[in-house]
Structure 1
Amino acid sequence: MAAQTFRFTHYDLKQLRAGTTVEVTLSAVNNVRLLTPGNFQRFSEKLDFKYTGGVAKKSPVRIVIPESGHWHLIVDAEGHAGLAESSVKMIAAPAAAAPRQQKAS
């Protein structure tokens, strides 16, 4: 039996800094998955893969980048009626707080 195929939208997010928030706006319930390049390759080859995210029941969805690096985002209709229209916006990670200084006593 052939593997079931489903429609998806792929966003290559390129290099992102840890703490950056990815905001995904959807027109319907769909899956939103954040993947490393290796896991995106596995997804493309229909192999088991790991991701951050899941079913997005409300929009917008916000996912925080867990570590600096290259990232891919997939919006897919697996288990849902159809592929949602989607858009993605990056919200920069907050600047690191300046170290607090205390005078020695």
Structure 2
Amino acid sequence: MNHLNNEFDADAGDVAEVTLDRAANVLLMDSSNYDNYKQGRKYRYYGGYATKSPVRLAVPKHGHWHVVVDLGGGPGQVRASTRLLSGASV
């Protein structure tokens, strides 16, 4: 599956802020769910289809996280940047 991935360590209460150049799926997931995503298996995530930028996703608990951006199999390309905001609010 064609996608962008940005990974980071974060604490509960941190916010992943994603800036997009077009509408896309923006998914926040832990490492095991990211592995499932890459293998085409069922996975759980926070976020979804975003039509406005920036997108802010709250990190639910301390750990290693992935922000995935994809077009859901649709045509074209997407550019995205991600930054972690420590202790920010959504």
Q: Fold-level match, TM-score > 0.5?
A: yes
Question: Normalising by structure 2, what TM-score?
Answer: 0.91
* Bigger Rg over Cα: 1
Unaligned runs of 5+ residues in structure 2 are none
Q: Which residue number corresponds to residue 85 of structure 2?
A: 91
1:18 deviation in Å? 0.4
Unaligned runs of 5+ residues in structure 1 are 1-5, 95-105
Q: Which residue number corresponds to residue 77 of structure 1?
A: 71
Percent sequence identity is 33
Name whichever structure is richer in strand by fraction.
2
**2-side partners of 1:37 and 1:92: how far apart?**
20
SS in 2 for 1:47: coil
Q: Which residue number corresponds to residue 101 of structure 1?
A: none
Q: 4+ runs of 1 displaced by more than 2 Å?
A: 79-83
For the aligned residues, what is the CA RMSD? 1.2
1:42 matched to 2:73? The reply is no
